[in-house]
Amino acid sequence: MSLIVIKLGGSVITHKESSTPKPRTKIIKSLAKEILSISKRGYKIILIHGGGSYGHNLAKKYNLIQGLKEKKSYEGFIKTVQSMNKLNSIIIDLLEKVVLPAVSLPPHSFITQTNGKLNDFDTSVIRNILELGIIPVLYGDPVIDTKIGCSILSGDSIATYLAKKLNAKKVIFLTDVDGIFDSNPKINKNAELIPLVNNQNITNVLKNLTSHNNFDVSGEMKGKILSIKENLPNKNAVIANGLKSNILTEILTQNTAGTKIFLG
């Protein structure tokens, strides 16, 4: 049975630019229904979600990228873990409402990093959960860092790592824009969508990806492409707009939406 890794970006499931945590409940509900229908077609699914306004503001406020540097950082680590827990509960509850069996695996409880880089971790529990027909749900989280105390583990890194290790057929990243553009579409109204990123254009594409969001700690689109480049040279990855209805079905049936990334 084919395994699909889906990352629900924080820009889709929350109002990312809100200064206080704010979920997009309607969107999460409709994505939950779509995920249910995909699972009924026989796909095995690993679900990962990002932080949006539940993670990035706090991580930035307490400078968690720098680790546990001062007393206040410990408070920041705990507050961010709690906030991500809350967002995760909202998602698990909404999955339960559509009767989709899903179980949460909080990354801070079993994954570590070293200087902000993900350490190899045991995936046997994830495999076992998949075999039971249950969807494992992981998310971007502050985790223990063996060098700097703690660091931010992005959902993007979890997605590419698991896709590689468990040999997923496809990795889908849903964000609040249609894919990768030649410049940030939220700033430049004339920005053009890049339908395919491959070995020929990746250097150019990366050059034009700059982060303008003061409240993002994981590199926005650039972070995603670098993570795909590192872990998934021969895999099909897609970045598409999770605010559009039926987007997952469109990706899995017609494969026309968003930006496809293939660095084989």
By the criterion CB under 6 A, which residues form the site for ligand IP8?
10, 50-51, 55-56, 59, 80, 84, 140-142, 152, 154-156, 217-218
User: Which one of ligand ATP, ligand IP8, none interacts with residue 142, CB within 5 to 8 A by kind?
Assistant: ligand IP8
115 binds ligand ATP (CB under 6 A): no
Residue 155 is assigned to a ligand binding site = yes
How crowded is residue 68: how many other Cβ atoms within 10 Å of its Cβ?
19
Residue 224 is assigned to a ligand binding site = yes
Residue 242 is assigned to a ligand binding site = no
Residue number with CB closer to ligand IP8 (30 or 151): 151
107 binds ligand ATP (CB under 6 A): no
Three-state DSSP state, 258: coil
Q: How far is the CB of 133 from ligand ATP (least distance, A)?
A: 27
34 binds ligand ATP (CB under 6 A): no
23 binds ligand ATP (CB under 6 A): no
188 binds ligand ATP (CB under 6 A): no
108 binds ligand ATP (CB under 6 A): no
Q: What angle is formed at CA 264 by the lines to CA 169 and CA 178, rounded to 5 degrees?
A: 65
Residues 62-91 touching ligand ATP, rule: CB under 6 A, are none
248 binds ligand ATP (CB under 6 A): no
Q: How many CA atoms lie within 13 A of 125 on its CB side?
A: 12
Q: How far is the CB of 218 from ligand IP8 (least distance, A)?
A: 3
176 binds ligand ATP (CB under 6 A): yes
Residue 9 is assigned to a ligand binding site = yes
What residues are paired with 240 via a beta bridge?
174
Among 9, 23, 76, 116, binds ligand ATP (CB under 6 A): 9
Three-state DSSP state, 152: strand
Q: What angle is formed at CA 198 by the lines to CA 196 and CA 201, rounded to 5 degrees?
A: 90
Phi-psi bin for 115: left (phi > 0), alpha (psi -120 to 50), beta?
Answer: left
Give per-residue burial for 131-163: e unless 16+ CB within 10 Å, then b: eeeebbbbbbbbbbbeebbbbbbbbbbbbbbbb
Secondary element (H or E) of residue 92: helix 71-97
Residue number with CB closer to ligand ATP (12 or 138): 12
141 binds ligand ATP (CB under 6 A): no
149 binds ligand ATP (CB under 6 A): no
Could you list the beta-strand ranges (E) of the chain.
3-8, 44-49, 102-104, 112-114, 117-118, 135-139, 141-145, 149-153, 170-175, 196-197, 236-241, 259-261
At 194, give phi and psi (nearest 5°): -100, 110
Residues that bind ligand ATP (CB under 6 A): 9-12, 16, 50-52, 56, 155, 175-177, 180-181, 183-186, 208-209, 216, 218, 220-221
For the annotated binding site for substrate, the residues are 51, 56, 155
